[in-house]
Amino acid sequence: MVQDPNTRAIGLAQGGTIAHSTEASGKAWGLLASLPATYPEWLGDRSFAEVHRVRFPYVAGAMANGIASTRLVIAMARGGCLGFFGSAGLSPARVEASIAELNAELGSAENGGAAWGANLIHSPNEPALENAVVDLYLRHGVRRVSAAAYMALTPAIVRYAYAGIRRGPDGRVSRPNHVFAKISRPETARHFLEPAPAKILDALVASGGLSAAEAELARGLPVAEDITVESDSGGHTDNRPLAALFPTIARLRDDIVAQRRYPRPIRVGAAGGLGTPASVAAAFGLGAAYVVTGSVNQGAVESGLHAEGKRMLAQAGIADVTMAPAADMFEQGVEVQVLGRGTMFAARARKLYELYRTAGAWESISAADQQRVERDLLKQPFAEAWASTKAFWAQRDPAQNQQAEADPKHKLALVFRSYLGRSSRWAIDGDPTRQLDYQIWCGPAMGAFNAWAQGSLLEAPESRSAVQIAHNFLEGATAITRASQLRSFGVPIPAAAFDFRPRRIA
C-alpha cells in the first residue's frame, strides 16, 4: 500500500492494493489500483534457487583470508542465502579444517545438507597451490566455488568444473560441481561461457585429471553456468559501472547460448556497488539472476575482520576508498580497491611497486628509499625481511626461493609482497602496532551502506548481522521494485516509497 504524499508515505513489498487518503481531510480510503503480491524470493531467476537449493537469490561473496568466515557462511545458509568461504590466502590445512567444520554444521551435499561454497582464486605465481585447493574441494565434496581473478582458464578450474559429470538414463547431463565465475570483462566472461579448450581437456585426460567420458561431455558444456558480473567493488576490480557492464555481459551470454544451443540455462548475477536496497533493486532491474554482496559483509559481526577494522569500515564514506597494488599479482601491476581512510597502506604499497618497477635489485634502490622502506614498512633490515620471507616460501613453494636466488628482482618482489600479504593479516588480527598498514578491501558500497544505516539498528558495527543486512536488502529491493511497477502503470507514487529504511526482519 502506498499512501498519498500528503500523508506518511510507506512502500510495502507485499499486499495487493494502492489506496488514497488525506489525514487532514478525514476522507475515507479509496481504491486506486491493485497488483498481485511480490516477494523477495521472486526477484531473481527462479532456476537459481532450484539449482542451488536456497530460498533467496542472494550470495555473500568470498572475502579472502577467511574474512568470509565459516561463521558467516553458516549464518547465510541458515538465513536462506548462499555464502562462500574466503579460502584465498589460507594454507591448505586451514582450508581443509574449515571445510570439515562447514560439512559438520551444514551437512554434506551428498546427504542433502544446506548449500554453501568456497573461493578458488587464480594463482598465476603458484599453480601448485591452485591444484592443491582443487584436490581438497573434490575430495571433500565442495560443490560450489567462486572463481576469482582468472584472466584465462587453468587446468585446475577446468578439472573442478567437469569432474563427475555424467549423462543420466533420461539423457540429461548431471553436473555435481558449480562454478561461479566472477568476471568484469567480456573476454574473460567468454572463457567461462564457452566449453573449455580441447587442448586443456585432452591434457587432463592424459594426466588422469578427467576421464575420457567426462571430457567428451565437457566439449558441449560451458565451464560455468553462473557468471557473476563484478562492477566497482572492494578487492580485485576493474572499477566498471554495473549499468554499462551487466548488459554487455548478458548480451554476450545470450549470443553464445544461441550459438551453442546449450540445454541448460546460464545465469548472470551482479556484484559490486551493492550497498543499499535501491542498488540491489537496480541490479535485479537490469536482469540479474542473483546478487552478490561483499564490502558490507566484511563489516558484519560474523566476518573474520577484527573489531577495529569493522569500526574503520563503519566510518567510511563513498569517497574513502582507493586503489593499491595486489599482493597475489604484484609483478603484473594488478590493483585492488581498499579503504583509504585511517590507513596509509595504499600510499605505501604504491611506493613499493614504484621501487620494484624501476629497480633491478634491492641494492640499486637509493639509500634514502631503502631507509624509509626498512623503517616504516618492513620495520627491519632488508636482509632479515628476506630471511623470514625465504623461510615462508621454503614451506609453501621452494621453487620461489630458487628463482629469487637467481634473479634479484624476483627476491625484491617476494619481500615487497610479504608486506602486502601481511597487511591484510594485521587488519584481521587487529595488530595495534600496524594500524596504519591495515589493508582492508573495500568498495564505495560501504560508504553508501553507512549513509543508509545511519540512525538505525544497523548503524553500530556490533549490530550488523550479515543475515539482517541480506534480509533488509531483499525486502527493501522488493518494496522498491513494487513501487517501480506501480509507477510504470501510471499510479502516482511518492518519492518516499523508494526510501526503504533498515528494520528488524524475522
* C-alpha cell read off for 152: 584465462
Domains of the chain with bracketed CATH: 17-39+448-498 (no CATH), 42-305 (3.20.20.70), 311-439 (no CATH)
pLDDT value of residue 1: 37
Give the N- to C-terminal CA distance of the chain in Å, as an integer: 21
Report which residue type is found at 424. S
For the stretch 149-152, contacts whose Cβ atoms lie closer than 8 Å and that sit 24 or more positions apart, written own/partner, are 149/121, 149/122, 149/182, 149/236, 149/328, 149/329, 149/334, 150/122, 150/181, 150/183, 150/188, 150/191, 150/192, 151/122, 151/124, 151/188, 152/191
pLDDT value of residue 10: 33
Per-residue pLDDT in tens (0 to 9) along the chain, 506 residues = 333 333 323 334 444 544 444 444 455 666 666 788 889 999 999 999 999 999 999 999 999 999 999 999 999 999 999 999 999 989 889 999 999 999 999 988 777 889 999 999 988 777 888 999 999 999 999 999 999 989 899 999 999 999 999 999 998 999 999 999 999 999 999 999 999 999 999 999 999 999 999 999 999 999 999 999 999 999 888 999 999 999 999 999 999 999 999 989 999 999 999 999 999 999 999 999 999 999 999 999 999 999 999 999 999 999 999 999 998 889 989 899 999 999 999 999 999 999 999 999 999 999 999 999 999 999 999 999 999 999 999 988 899 999 999 999 999 999 999 999 999 999 999 999 999 999 999 999 999 999 999 999 999 999 999 999 999 999 999 999 999 999 998 888 899 999 999 999 97
Report which residue type is found at 196. A
Distance CA 103, CA 98 (A): 9
C-alpha separations of 117 from 59, 75, 104, 233, 272 in Å? 10, 13, 14, 20, 19
* C-alpha cell read off for 503: 528494520
Report which residue type is found at 490. G
Cα R_g (the chain), whole angstroms: 24
Query: Which of 226, 273, 279, 301 has its CA nearest to residue 76?
Result: 301
Distance of CA 77 to the CA centre of its chain: 16
**Residues β-bridged to residue 144:** 178
pLDDT value of residue 6: 32
pLDDT value of residue 123: 81
Distance CA 228, CA 412 (A): 35
Tell me which residue has cell 543420466.
168
pTM, entire model: 0.91
pLDDT value of residue 459: 96
C-alpha separations of 48 from 42, 253, 281, 299 in Å? 10, 16, 17, 26
pLDDT value of residue 20: 47
Distance CA 54, CA 59 (A): 10
C-alpha separations of 3 from 10, 20, 26 in Å? 6, 6, 14
